[in-house]
Amino acid sequence: MLQSTPDTLQQRYNLQIAYWLLFCAGVIFAMILLGGVTRLTNSGLSMVEWKPIMGIIPPLSEGDWQLLFSKYQQFPEYQKVNLGMTLAEFKPIFMYEYLHRVLGRIIGVIFIVPFVYFYLAKRIPAGLTGKLLVMLMLGAGQGLLGWYMVKSGLVNDPRVSQYRLTAHLGNAALIYAFIFWIACGLLHRPSAQPTSLRIPAMLISLLISVMILSGGLVAGTRAGYAYPTFPLMGDHFFPPQLYTMQPLWLSAFEDITTIQFNHRMFAYVIVTAIGLFAACALRSGVQGPTRTGVWCMLGLMIVQVSLGISTLLLHMPVPLAAAHQVGAIALLSASLYVTHSLHCATGLPTRRDDKALDSIPSA
């Protein structure tokens, strides 16, 4: 009976860790979707307390519901936005926020428990433990950042800060991307790919990340409701209200016209960049799963653009807007996969290498 070598065992452990990380990434993907639905249904300020431990217990009786509703009624969102809301109307928005927070705690459990097991069983390869600890710290910080965001809306103006919302979304995307990248590294098998595409692929991943942050500003300022027209914004491609705040740069973060315009411009740039990249990649000889990844980038880009335009024209329906948010994460995933494949590629053989291989007699 053949015995497994240490290298073979470690490869098996690496697969186990990779599948665990991909599962965590999948749950975070669902978390981002639920977060989008929570925001779009205006549910994020329905839980006015932060209880990291006891907050996992749901309301179990009518008395519990009445207590939670009475606390909500003491805050400006009820008094200025939802005055007259009934308990029956309060329950759905509370449950969206409650499930969002509970899922965050569940993510912590499905990360920490396997991590401790892999660590104690000495299955984590050298150099990975530190990266897993960084993931853990980013996750803990995400919980704190979420409450910091909610607190910004429990004030006289019952809207969360677009800066804090963008930071919360951006950190979620960062955690997801970090986990996905490390999992790709554990699963990766070196292949021959055109290495000249590495930097363009990295730049596209960076552009998509910036686009996601831009979407956070759109969501935080509700800029998506301002100009429900396409391709013009109202009657203009360049609306006259662009960059009218002082100082000028502040418009990019607080003026809804400028924020929506910038989001559209990012979309045009990304569509052009992905289209050119895909054309170059497919002609230059990308192979195997990397080639499939390039086609996925193209397909997801088309879907994402369609979702974005439809969401705008139909005045932000929740299903389409939520799909548009996670569509950006899906597009980032495809881009990261292609980027990682090219980053670790061995390079295509030169013509001289081909001739040398052809000259070797077959066995």
Domain closes at, from 187, 215, 232: 187
Task: Compute the half-sphere exposure of residue 342: CA atoms within 13 Å on the CB side of its CA.
Answer: 27
Block residue for tokens 């990266």: 131
d(CA 130, CA 166): 27
Answer positive or negative: Cα dihedral of 153, 158, 160, 161: negative
Do 154 and 116 belong together in one domain? yes
- Residue 348: per-residue pLDDT: 64
113 lies in some domain: yes
146 shares its domain with 217: no
Burial class (CB within 10 angstroms; exposed 0-12, middle 13-18, buried 19+) of 62: exposed
- Mean pLDDT score across all residues of the chain: 91
Question: Number of structural domains, the chain?
Answer: 2
What whole-number distance in Å separates Cα of residue 327 and Cα of residue 356? 46
How many angstroms separate the CA atoms of 127 and 42, rounded?
A: 43
CA angle (150 as vertex; 38, 83 as ends), nearest 5? 75
| Same domain, yes or no: 192 and 234 | yes
Q: What is the pLDDT of residues 217-257, one digit of tens each?
A: 999 999 999 999 999 999 999 999 999 999 999 999 999 99
User: Does one domain contain both 172 and 268?
Assistant: no
> Do the domain assignments include residue 1?
no
Q: Is residue 40 part of a domain?
A: yes
The answer to whether 124 and 118 are in contact (CB under 8 A) is yes
Are residues 209 and 302 both part of a single domain? Answer: yes
Q: Judge if 32 and 161 occupy the same domain.
A: yes
Q: Supply the range of the domain harboring residue 147.
A: 7-187
Report the C-alpha dihedral over residues 227, 233, 235, 236, rounded to 10 degrees. Answer: 150
Query: 29 lies in a domain?
Result: yes
Helix (H, G, I), strand (E, B) or coil at 233: strand
- Domain-located, residue 2: no
Provide the 3-class DSSP secondary structure of residue 236.
strand
Mark which of 170, 187, 204 sits at the end of a domain.
Answer: 187
Cis peptide bond upstream of 319, omega within 30: no
Tell me the pLDDT tens digit for each residue of 80-127: 999 999 999 999 999 999 999 999 999 999 999 999 999 999 999 999
> What's 82's DSSP letter?
S
- Please, what's the b/e burial string for 115-129 (b: 16 or more CB within 10 A of its CB; e: otherwise)? beebeeeebbeeebe
Confidence at residue 188, expressed as pLDDT on a 0 to 100 scale: 80
Are residues 182 and 228 part of one domain? no
Q: Same structural domain for residues 348 and 206? A: yes
Residues 253 and 280 placed together within one structural domain of the fold: yes
Q: Residue 354: what pLDDT?
A: 44
Domain end point (choices 154, 187, 220): 187
Confidence at residue 170, expressed as pLDDT on a 0 to 100 scale = 96
Residue 234 lies in a domain: yes
Q: Are 151 and 200 in a shared domain? A: no
Question: Tokens at residue 123, please?
Answer: 């299955």
Helix (H) or strand (E) holding 4: none
Answer yes or no: are the C-beta atoms of 208 and 328 closer than 8 Å.
yes
Segments of the chain with pLDDT less than 50: 1-2, 351-363
Residue 318 identity: V
> Looking at the structure, do residues 211 and 327 belong to the same domain, yes or no?
yes
Pair (165, 204) in one structural domain: no
